[in-house]
Structure 1
Amino acid sequence: MVAEIPSHVVAHPHVLYVGTPAFLVGSTNPDGTANLAAASSSWALGDMLCLGIEADGQTALNLAERPGITVNYPSAPLWPALVRLSRLTGRSPVPAAKADRYTFEPDKFTAARLTPQASELVEAPRVAECLLQFEAAVRRMTPGLDGSYFMVEAEVVRVHADESIVQPGSGEIDPRAWHPLVYAFRHFFDRGDEVGWLPSSRIAPHPPVID
């Protein structure tokens, strides 16, 4: 059976978030308090993460001065927390470019109704409600072409996961049990059904069967 060829048209989306996991970045303010920000632009290669972080927020300032951060991955039920954070900034005074949309909030955890959890290797706190949490160290920050964001390269130094998503005995994350919150074109989704896997999977029951 031949698959039907899609009928493509020219589209004009106002954003290009095609569907990536949303995440929460924990960082440390100059006075030692915690900052928390929602984000959605990221990818990973080996132990390195590349995060897209807005340049005019408190998070970027914190990462440049205090490189120990946490990257916390919420599951679908936590989507309201990201909405609560979406118009808050930990930077005071609020940057002029954000003044019409953002409000200064020094206690982002309380505002988001989330719980700070002490990390083991970095100063920044984790988000207790997130089933998957990375402690990481910023290694490089590269300004984006238009100056509005940084490409932040961070090395993951420790992974924490709720035991419900860890495969017993191997320490591997069970992708069938883990449901990240997916952000696509400004909408939130739960992860869909499994459709296959790569030959390199360490926990698949057998090699993929494909035609």
Structure 2
Amino acid sequence: MFISSEPAILYFGTPVVLISTVNEDLSCNLAPMSSAFWLGWRCILGLAASSKTTQNIIRTGECVLNLPSVHQVAAVNRLARTTGSNPVPEAKQKKGYHYEQEKFRVAGLTPIPSVTVTPPRVQECPVHLEARVAAIHGVAEEEPAQRGRIVNIELRIQRVHLHTDIIMDGHPNQVDPDKWRPLIMSFQQFYGLGEQVHASALAQIPEELYYSKDVERARTV
């Protein structure tokens, strides 16, 4: 049986991302989010326009997408209701957010240098994706009450760093899904992946067949 329902959010389960950016004073901002998905070496982020992370990405044109595993959940949770915006935007005030400048310190995480962008990477995260802005698109532009409040940022990945613990044996350019345990956000709760439930027909396709020109372009950066 089904019923008609009106959930306030439709977050059915997506990976958590820690986005590192650079503030105007060259200090570092670090923010958790989970409205992200990947297409080849492109990533689409859904962010509030008033977010400090959004403003930093638009201003500098770059960021690092750090993907935590389930082992970094406590650090992610320590950042959950912090913001780099001062004063705190009204919408975030209502949700209990507070201003915090030292995000890495509060989370207990370690910044390490990136190769192709200015923002640092998060050492503890098993995946680091250095990225630059390719395009910015408004969301809900047809609705006056929502226009300008949310943006989709298209990023082009230009360097991928993977911890050796998650690399497939004998295949340095592949992540082993049995070793990679991403942190998942589902309806504001933290989860991890369970065991594989069924063999995948798509997995029979060699990953190399998905290479795009973005990979070749990244090699020249």
TM-score in same-fold range (> 0.5): yes
1:41 and 2:43 matched: no
Q: Where does 1:128-147 land on structure 2 (aligned, <5 Å)?
A: 128-145=123-140, 146=146, 147=148
Aligned to 1:208: none
Match of 2:166 in 1: 165
Quick one: which amino acid aligns to residue 181 of structure 1?
L
Tell me the equivalent position of 2:188: 186
Amino acid at match of 1:95: P
State the distance in 1 between where 2:66 and 2:25 align.
Answer: 22
Provide the rounded CA distance (Å) in 2 between the counterparts of 1:112 and 1:54: 22
Q: How many residues align?
A: 197
Q: CA 1:75 to 1:92, structure 2 compared with 1: closer, same or farther past 3 Å?
A: same
How many Å apart are 1:78 and its aligned residue? 1.5
Shift of 1:174: 0.8
The answer to whether residue 155 in structure 2 is matched with residue 150 in structure 1 is: no
| 1:100-146 CA-partner distances (Å, limit 9, x unpaired) | 32211111111111111111111011111101111111111212212
Alignment of 1:51-90 (within 5 A): 51-90=45-84
Higher helix share: 2
Give the Cα separation in 2 of the matches to 1:94 and 1:151.
Answer: 22
**Displacement, 1:96?**
2.4
Report the secondary structure of 2:171's partner residue.
Answer: coil
Q: State the one-letter code of the partner of 2:98.
A: T
Residue 27 (structure 1) shift = 0.5
User: Does the residue aligned with 2:78 lie in a helix, a strand or coil?
Assistant: helix
5+ unaligned residues in a row in structure 2: which ranges?
A: 141-145, 209-221
Shift of 1:166: 0.7
Pick from 92, 95, 98: which aligns with 2:86? 92
**Aligned mates of 1:41, 1:178 — CA distance in 2:** 20
Aligned match of 1:25: 19
Give me the whole-angstrom Cα distance separating, in 2, the residues matched to 1:170 and 1:71.
23
CA deviations 1:5-28 (Å, max 9, x no partner) are xx4333343311101111110111
Q: CA deviation at 1:85?
A: 1.2
CA distance in 1 between partners of 2:8 and 2:88 (Å): 25
Query: Counterparts of 2:171 and 2:138 in 1: how far apart (Å)?
Result: 39
1:57 to partner: Cα distance: 1.3
Q: What residue is the counterpart of 2:219 in the other structure?
A: none
Rounded to whole Å, the distance in 2 between the matches of 1:194 and 1:117 is: 33
**Which consecutive segments of 4 or more residues in structure 1 shift more than 6 A?**
none
1:159-194 C-alpha deviation (Å, 9 max, x unpaired): 111101112332211111101001111111111111
